[in-house]
Amino acid sequence: MAEHFKITECPRDAMQGLHNFVPTDVKAAYINLLLQVGFDTIDFGSFVSPKSIPQMRDTAEVLAGLDLSTSPSKLLAIIANYRGAEDAVIHPEIHYLGYPFSISETFQLRNTNTTVEQAFDNVKRINNLCGANNKSLLIYLSMGFGNPYGDEWNTDIVQHWAQKMTDEGIGYIALSDTVGIATPEQISSLYPTLKNQSPITEFGLHLHSTPDTWQEKIAAAYESGCTKFDVALKGYGGCPMAKDDLTGNIATENLVAFLLHQNINLGLDLDKLGEAMAYSGRVFG
CA 233 to chain centre: 13
Cβ distance 140 to 122 under 8 Å?
no
21 CB contacts (<8 Å, ≥6 apart)? Answer: 54, 55
Instruction: Please determine, for residue 178, whether its predicted confidence score (pLDDT) is greater than 90.
Output: no
List, for residues 210-225, the tens digit of each pLDDT value.
888 999 999 999 999 9
List, for residues 84-124, the tens digit of each pLDDT value.
999 999 999 999 999 999 999 999 999 999 999 999 999 99
Express as a percent the part of the chain with pLDDT over 90.
91
pLDDT, position 172 = 98
Closest CA relative to residue 100, chosen from 208, 216, 209: 208
Cβ distance 53 to 14 under 8 Å?
no
**What's the rounded mean pLDDT across residues 163-171?**
97
CA distances from 170 to 43, 78, 107 (A): 18, 16, 22
pLDDT, position 238 = 64
**Which CATH number goes with the domain that contains 56?**
3.20.20.70
Instruction: Please determine, for residue 41, whether its predicted confidence score (pLDDT) is greater than 80.
Output: yes
Domain that holds residue 48: 2-284
Q: How many CA atoms lie within 13 A of 240 on its CB side?
A: 14
List, for residues 232-263, the tens digit of each pLDDT value.
999 998 654 444 455 689 999 999 999 999 99
Computed over every residue of the chain, the mean pLDDT equals: 94
At 282, the amino acid letter reads R
Give the total number of structural domains in the chain.
1
Give residue 55's pLDDT band: very low, low, confident or very high (50, 70, 90): very high
